[in-house]
Every structure is written in C-alpha cells, then in structure tokens.
C-alpha cells in the first residue's frame, strides 16, 4: 500500500505522473518506484500506460476519479488514435492491463509519419508550470508525432536533451528550470500557421475522446466532400484528384516535416489509402487530419457538420417523366446518386409512382 500519489495536471502524460511520484517520494531508483506502483518490473512504454491496472488498485483510495478509463482518456495519447482504429482494437485497449502488451499506437513503417525520438516540451508552458506549481511536467499532446508547436504560446516545441530510447534505462525525469532555453528550430510564418492548425485539430480529437468510426464512415464522408469540390468522379480519377489537391493545398516544407511529401506522379503514395477500405485503418491519424482540414476547414467541421454530397441541390425536385401522375410537379423527395456505367458521369436515379411504373420509369433528375 502506498501513502501518497500526486494529483495529475491537465493533459499530463502518464509517464510524467509516475515521474513526479518518483521524485516526490524521494526514491533513489526507478526499480523502487516500479515495485511500489506496479508491484513488479514493468517496461516503461511512453505511448501506453504500462502497469495501469495494478496502479489503479493501489491509488483509487485517494480519488474515485482514478480509474483505468480516466488515465487512458485524460493522460495518454490513445484518444488521438482510437477514432481511427477498429472497435475490436478499442475494446482490447480498454480491457488490457498494459502489463505485457506489445502494441504500437503509431506505425513504425518508414513510409509513415515518424515517431518522435525525444520528449518535446514548450519552454513558455514550462515557465508557467514552474511559476504556478513549482515543477514541470510532460504534456501528452506535445509528444504526438507531427506536433511541433504549442497552440497556447504559438511557439516551436523544444526537444529534450535525452533520447526516449535512453530514458527507459534511467530514473524517471521531468523537465526542470535548466531546460528553459530558446527553441533551436524556427519556422516561417506560413509554416507556423499550418503547424498550429494541425496541432489544434489534434487537440480537438483528444478533447472529444471519440470512439471508433468505421472505415466506411471515413471513406463515404471523404467522397462526399470531394464531390462537393467537384472531384469525386470519375472514380478512377479520384487518386489523381486527391494527390493534386493535397500537393496544391499544403506547402512542401510542411508535408516534408510530417514525412508526408510525395510527387504528383507517385503511384504509390499514402494518399489512395484514405479512400481504400483495405488500407484506411493503417493510415496515420495525422494524414487523416491533413485531408479533413483540406476538405472541411478543420477536424471539428469534418466531424460535426453535415457534409452530404448533394450534386442536385436540395429537393424536392420536379418530376420530368410524362407517364407519371406527378409529371412537372415538385414531388420527388429522394434521389439515389450513382455513376453512369457508360460515360462515368454522376446520375440521379429516382422511382416514380408504382401505378405508372414501366421499365423506363427510372429517369434522370434535371
């Protein structure tokens, strides 16, 4: 039984809470901390809350809020990933005790957005933390691949001096006053704007704590939105249209920073996966966000606004079938959007009154 556990800060990474416990109780070795909090040796994983089930059983006497769901939802980057994963994946994550789990939240493929090699932090946030709390902490959002700026201070994030791979072998660490320095990187005004937009979209996803959405949900919405821009058809041109839209919308240095640049002629870029049911789940969430902002203006708009593709505008429409009793009346309420097999153009199919049905009664809407 332990007699103390620190109160987590908003958006504090799970690792950081453990690190503050380690420092507050004055443990000399991380092994002591692991034994006290997790009951045995755990391999600290910076993406997943290892040892969480045991930890919760140890600390729920301090607060009813301390549950597995609380730590997963409020103190890990899992809420950023889970809307893009399957329901089964989500169930597995929440049921897991994170003891010997070997799950990578983000792909390690060289073709994907690269994982961060260092912890990232904002020097301005750190100054504020030291002033108000007397200590610093690691912010979970700053650790997400593709996040290079602080949306609060509109400044570039800094890399910590040690590699994450080295930190697993030493005592728990939090950023201190010595880590306050000028960022080594600077970004152009234009690049900053795109980086801040992206970071705000990531924050939105984290705050909403969405559950899993189906691949069909993403693909049909992308196609609807493409349709609104006039790029959904013909289907065989979609890949080309999408690549062109992305390359023309985003600056090259922004896409390069996100390991997502491709040439317009590239037939094997990551872009077709956005609308491919077999590959949609394997896409990095950052790449979904790139398309969402391009098509909807922001991730919030994408998820919250109705984006149905309406190539014929709002109904009801006038019936143009002279054999129908409603000929020339505004009586058509539903239109089924299809692609004509011969010319690959968009076609609206309606059904007229059964009383007057003939094989030719499927007709185009004006």
Query: Which residues of this protein are in contact with Zn ion, per CB under 5 A?
Result: 122, 124-125, 150, 152-153
- Nearest to Zn ion of 201, 215 (CB atom): 201
d(CA 78, CA 98): 13
- Nearest to Zn ion of 152, 351 (CB atom): 152
Give the full edge-to-edge strand order of the sheet including 363-364.
336-339, 346-350, 363-364
Alpha helices (H) along the chain: 14-24, 30-38, 52-59, 68-75, 78-81, 87-95, 123-133, 164-167, 189-208, 215-228, 238-249, 252-257, 285-296, 299-304
CB of 147 to Zn ion, least distance (A): 12
- Nearest to Zn ion of 125, 199 (CB atom): 125
Task: Write out the two tokens for 37.
Answer: 């909090």
CB of 10 to Zn ion, least distance (A): 13
- Nearest to Zn ion of 206, 274 (CB atom): 206
CB of 153 to Zn ion, least distance (A): 4
d(CA 287, CA 284): 5
Per the CB < 8 A criterion, the answer to whether 325 and 353 are in contact is yes
CB of 260 to Zn ion, least distance (A): 25
- Nearest to Zn ion of 147, 290 (CB atom): 147
CB of 98 to Zn ion, least distance (A): 29
Task: Return the SS3 of 121.
Answer: strand
- Nearest to Zn ion of 152, 163 (CB atom): 152
CB of 12 to Zn ion, least distance (A): 14
CB atoms within 10 A of CB 68: 20
d(CA 107, CA 362): 48
């Amino acid at each position: 039984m332990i007699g103390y556990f620190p109160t987590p800060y908003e958006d504090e990474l799970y690792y950081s809470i453990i690190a503050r416990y380690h420092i507050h109780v004055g443990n000399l070795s991380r092994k002591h901390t692991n034994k006290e909090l997790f009951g045995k040796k755990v391999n600290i994983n910076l993406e997943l809350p290892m040892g969480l089930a045991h930890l919760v059983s140890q600390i729920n006497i301090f607060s009813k809020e301390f549950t597995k769901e609380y730590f997963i939802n409020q103190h890990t980057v899992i809420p950023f990933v889970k809307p893009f994963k399957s329901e089964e994946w989500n169930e597995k994550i929440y049921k897991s005790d994170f003891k010997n789990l070997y799950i990578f939240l983000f792909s390690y493929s060289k073709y994907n957005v690269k994982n961060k090699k260092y912890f990232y932090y904002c020097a301005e946030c750190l100054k504020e933390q030291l002033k108000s709390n007397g200590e610093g902490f690691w912010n979970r959002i700053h650790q997400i691949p593709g996040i290079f700026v602080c949306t609060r201070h509109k400044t570039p994030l800094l890399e910590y001096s040690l590699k994450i791979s080295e930190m697993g072998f030493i005592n728990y660490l939090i950023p201190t006053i010595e880590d306050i320095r000028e960022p080594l990187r600077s970004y152009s005004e234009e690049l900053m704007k795109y980086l801040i937009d992206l970071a705000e979209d990531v924050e939105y996803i984290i705050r909403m704590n969405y559950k899993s959405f189906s691949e069909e949900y993403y693909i049909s919405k992308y196609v609807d939105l493409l349709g609104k821009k006039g790029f959904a058809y013909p289907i065989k041109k979609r890949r080309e249209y999408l690549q062109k839209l992305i390359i023309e919308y985003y600056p090259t240095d922004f896409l390069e920073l996100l390991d997502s640049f491709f040439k317009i002629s590239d037939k094997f870029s990551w872009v077709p996966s956005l609308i491919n049911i077999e590959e949609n789940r394997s896409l990095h969430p950052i790449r979904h966000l790139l398309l969402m902002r391009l098509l909807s203006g922001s991730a919030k708009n994408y998820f919250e606004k109705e984006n149905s593709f309406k190539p014929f505008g709002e109904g009801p429409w006038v019936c143009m079938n002279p054999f129908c009793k409603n000929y020339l009346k505004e009586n058509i309420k539903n239109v089924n959007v299809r692609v004509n097999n011969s010319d690959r153009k968009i076609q609206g199919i309606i059904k007229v009154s059964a009383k007057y049905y003939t094989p030719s009664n499927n007709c185009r809407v004006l």
